[in-house]
Amino acid sequence: MKQLLDFLQELKSNNNREWFIEHKPLYDLIEVKFRHMAEELIQGLCAQDDSLGKLEVKDCTYRIYRDIRFSSDKSPYKTWKGVFVVFGGKKSGFPGYYLHFEPGNCFLCAGLHMPSKQVLESFREEVIDSYSNIEQAIRKASKKGFSLCVKGSLRKLPRGFENTSSEMSDLLRLRDEVLLERPLSMEEISSKDFLSHVLELFGCTQDFVRILNRSTAYVLLPDDV
pLDDT one-digit tens code per residue, 64-88: 999 988 888 899 999 999 999 999 9
Query: Cα–Cα distances in Å, from 209 out to 26, 43, 87, 137, 205?
Result: 36, 17, 11, 9, 6
Which tens digits make up the pLDDT trace of 85-135?
A: 999 999 999 999 999 999 999 999 999 999 999 999 999 999 999 999 999
Which tens digits make up the pLDDT trace of 144-176?
A: 999 999 999 999 999 999 888 889 999 999 999
> Rounded distance, CA 16 to CA 13, Å?
9
Q: For 162, how many CA atoms within 13 A lie in the half-sphere containing its CB?
A: 2
Question: Which residues are registered as beta bridge partners of 83?
Answer: 61, 99
Question: Which residues are registered as beta bridge partners of 99?
Answer: 83, 108
> Rounded distance, CA 140 to CA 208, Å?
9
Residue 46's pLDDT band, with cuts at 50, 70 and 90, is: very high
CB 33 within 8 A of CB 4: yes
- The residue ranges of DSSP E strands in 81-141, in sequence order, are 81-86, 96-101, 107-113
- The residue ranges of DSSP E strands in the chain, in sequence order, are 81-86, 96-101, 107-113, 147-148, 177-183
Domains of the chain: 2-224 (3.30.930)
Who contacts 32 (Cβ-Cβ below 8 Å, separation ≥6)?
none
Separation of first and last alpha carbons in the chain: 40
pLDDT the model gives residue 222: 73
DSSP H or E segment with residue 32: helix 24-48
- Residue 225, pLDDT above cutoff 70: no
> Rounded distance, CA 212 to CA 189, Å?
28
> Distance of alpha carbon 178 from its chain centroid, rounded?
10
CB 88 within 8 A of CB 101: no
CB 88 within 8 A of CB 96: no
Which tens digits make up the pLDDT trace of 178-223?
A: 999 999 999 999 999 999 999 999 999 999 999 999 999 999 987 7
CB 107 within 8 A of CB 181: yes
